[in-house]
């Protein structure tokens, strides 16, 4: 991956070729990498951008992304109406701030936060990555304050997590100087287990990250088992280690499809939870959420009082100015769907994912690693006895039909296992799923004519 977007010298003066009929004149020069000298008519500028965007993939056929690609027209209209609202200007947009407060409280109750403390403690973010970093910072500050209060060293903090975590956690560790205790994966173990989590904890561990919906295969990590093992560790005189749950995807699925699964604030050891509103929260990007167990879980040193545009407000997000529109859209979904609606949508989505998985498993050359048991996501690989093509050939062949299905290696220790992953989202119908399986069957027929795999790992989408 390039470290910059610097344009090669030979391309700096390249110009866009514009159809003379767009501009109404025969010779129009529009530079690619610098501002044009003059203005363009609005319709011409819009047409040029639309022509460029024609080369993008079809978002509805993008089975790589977890991010919402369809919302109802009423929701899209609300987003447009609120596009100019800056979430930080709470004094100017008090009702948008109130809507955020309502969403945080809805999520806190959905995730079974204790109610004796009064109002829920949390905020919206630009996405789940920012929310995860806020959760990590809270763990670090609490650990440091606890150690400092009894005169113990506060250097070299670490955080325990499986090697399957999303890259935001690697960023958190690097940006905020925390050692990542990445627990390696192994055959038959594609995520963090309770035993491994406890084994890697010590007195400098600020917390354990449990993932509810792994991006690699869609599986849930055993959060309740982790809590029990960490309880036993603390009871035996070991460190008292809290849990942060990265529920980027599962936080909007498990409460409706797996209500009896204990992973949230029903577990006393869970200090904070993050989730993506723009994933299975069913909102266009970008909005994420973090909720803390109570006020004690959010160190006061991380909360700032800002006097801005006429009012004093508390802030503890990493960003400052950010759009209020996705927050409004999240509240729209809460009102529009309610519990019954969210359950209906998530169940239908998971049913479609399981239907596709079954269809792919029945084709013959593929082995399912998961079957959308948890979130509507599954992974599969090419069987070992199939030698004419690889998962990267399959990804390339599907792309020729418009489908975007990522192929990638699993993390170290499982790096020789290469998989394809399908993410099913709201708006992806059973008919589209059946067409995917049909196109995959045709692709396999064509790939069988090869003598050997053609595509290398760097020739296709990587996780």
CATH number at residue 221: 3.40.640.10
Residue 307: band (very low, low, confident or very high) from pLDDT cuts 50, 70, 90 = low
Average pLDDT rounded to a whole number, residues 50-79: 92
Residue 410 contacts residue 381 (beta carbons within 8 Å): no
Separation of alpha carbons 221 and 273, rounded Å:
14
Q: pLDDT tens, 173-209?
A: 999 999 999 999 888 888 999 999 999 999 999 999 9
Same domain membership, residue 451 and residue 390: yes
Residue 26: band (very low, low, confident or very high) from pLDDT cuts 50, 70, 90 = very low
Q: Look at residue 61 and tell me if it is in a domain.
A: no
pLDDT of residue 462: 41
Separation of alpha carbons 330 and 105, rounded Å:
13
Same domain membership, residue 88 and residue 206: yes
CB atoms within 10 A of CB 12: 12
Average pLDDT rounded to a whole number, residues 150-174: 96
pLDDT at 4 over 80: no
For residues 446 and 29, the model is more confident at 446
Same domain membership, residue 241 and residue 211: yes
pLDDT at 318 over 70: yes
pLDDT of residue 33: 86
Q: Look at residue 194 and tell me if it is in a domain.
A: yes
Same domain membership, residue 265 and residue 229: yes
pLDDT averaged over every residue in the chain: 90
Same domain membership, residue 101 and residue 144: yes
Q: Give every CB contact of residue 174 below 8 A, 6+ residues apart in sequence.
A: none
Output b/e per residue, 432-447; b: 16+ Cβ within 10 A: bbeebbebbeebbeeb
pLDDT of residue 91: 74
Q: pLDDT tens, 272-296?
A: 999 999 999 999 998 999 999 999 9
Same domain membership, residue 224 and residue 198: yes
pLDDT at 16 over 90: no
Out of 22-26, 35-39, 92-96, 383-387, least confident range: 22-26
Give the CATH number of the domain where residue 352 resides.
Answer: 3.90.1150.160
Structural domains of the chain, count: 3
Q: Look at residue 2 and tell me if it is in a domain.
A: no
pLDDT of residue 8: 67
Out of 195-204, 307-316, 384-393, 431-440, least confident range: 307-316
Q: What token pair was written down for 355? A: 């239907």
What φ, ψ does residue 185 adopt, rounded to 5°? -90, 170
For 126, 344, 355, 358, the CA distances from 348, given in Å and listed in that order, are: 27, 6, 10, 15
Average pLDDT rounded to a whole number, residues 438-458: 90
pLDDT of residue 40: 82
Coarse DSSP helix, strand, coil percentages of the chain, rounded to the nearest 5 percent: 40, 15, 45
Domain end call among 300, 333, 366: 333
Residue 459: band (very low, low, confident or very high) from pLDDT cuts 50, 70, 90 = very low
Same domain membership, residue 349 and residue 238: no
pLDDT of residue 192: 94
Domain end call among 267, 299, 333: 333
Which domain, by its residues, includes 372? 345-459
pLDDT at 126 over 70: yes
Same domain membership, residue 162 and residue 108: yes
């Amino acid at each position: 991956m390039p470290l910059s977007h610097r344009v090669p010298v030979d391309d700096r003066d390249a110009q866009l070729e514009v159809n003379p009929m767009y501009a109404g004149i025969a010779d129009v020069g529009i530079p690619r990498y610098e501002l044009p000298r003059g203005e363009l008519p609005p319709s011409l500028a819009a047409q040029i951008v639309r022509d460029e965007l024609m080369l993008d993939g079809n978002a509805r056929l993008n089975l790589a992304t977890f991010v919402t690609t369809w919302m109802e027209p009423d929701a899209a209209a609300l987003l447009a109406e609120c596009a100019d609202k800056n979430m930080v200007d709470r004094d100017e947009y008090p009702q948008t701030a109130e809507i955020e407060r309502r969403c945080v409280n809805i999520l806190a109750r959905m995730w079974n936060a204790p109610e004796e403390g009064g109002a829920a403690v949390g905020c919206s973010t630009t996405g789940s990555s920012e929310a995860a970093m806020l959760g990590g910072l809270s763990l670090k500050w609490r650990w440091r304050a606890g150690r400092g209060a009894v005169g113990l060293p506060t250097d070299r903090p670490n955080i325990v997590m499986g090697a399957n975590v999303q890259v935001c956690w690697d960023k958190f560790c690097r940006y905020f100087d925390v050692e990542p205790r990445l627990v390696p994966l192994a055959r038959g173990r594609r995520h963090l287990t309770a035993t491994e989590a406890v084994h890697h904890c010590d007195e400098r561990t600020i917390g354990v990250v449990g993932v509810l919906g792994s991006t690699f295969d869609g599986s849930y990590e055993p959060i309740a088992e982790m809590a029990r093992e960490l309880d036993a560790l603390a009871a035996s005189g070991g460190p008292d280690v809290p849990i942060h749950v990265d529920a980027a995807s599962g936080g909007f699925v498990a409460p409706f499809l797996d209500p009896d699964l204990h992973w949230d604030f029903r577990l006393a050891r869970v200090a904070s939870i993050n989730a993506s509103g723009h994933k299975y929260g069913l909102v266009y990007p970008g909005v994420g959420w973090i909720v803390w167990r109570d006020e004690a879980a959010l160190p006061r040193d991380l909360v700032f009082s800002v006097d801005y545009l006429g009012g004093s407000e508390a802030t503890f997000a990493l960003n400052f100015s950010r759009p209020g529109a996705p927050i409004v859209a999240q509240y729209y979904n809460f009102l529009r769907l309610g519990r019954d609606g969210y359950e209906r949508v998530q169940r239908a989505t998971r049913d479609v994912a399981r239907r596709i998985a079954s269809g792919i498993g029945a084709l013959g050359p593929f082995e399912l690693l998961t079957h959308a048991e948890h979130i509507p996501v599954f992974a599969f690989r090419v069987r070992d006895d199939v030698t004419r093509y690889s998962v990267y050939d399959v990804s390339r062949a599907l792309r020729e039909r418009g489908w975007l299905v990522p192929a990638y290696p699993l993390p170290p220790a499982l790096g020789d296992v290469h998989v394809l992953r399908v993410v099913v989202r709201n708006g992806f119908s059973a008919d589209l799923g059946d067409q995917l399986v049909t196109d995959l069957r045709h692709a396999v027929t064509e790939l069988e004519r090869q003598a050997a795999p053609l595509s290398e790992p760097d020739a296709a989408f990587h996780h």
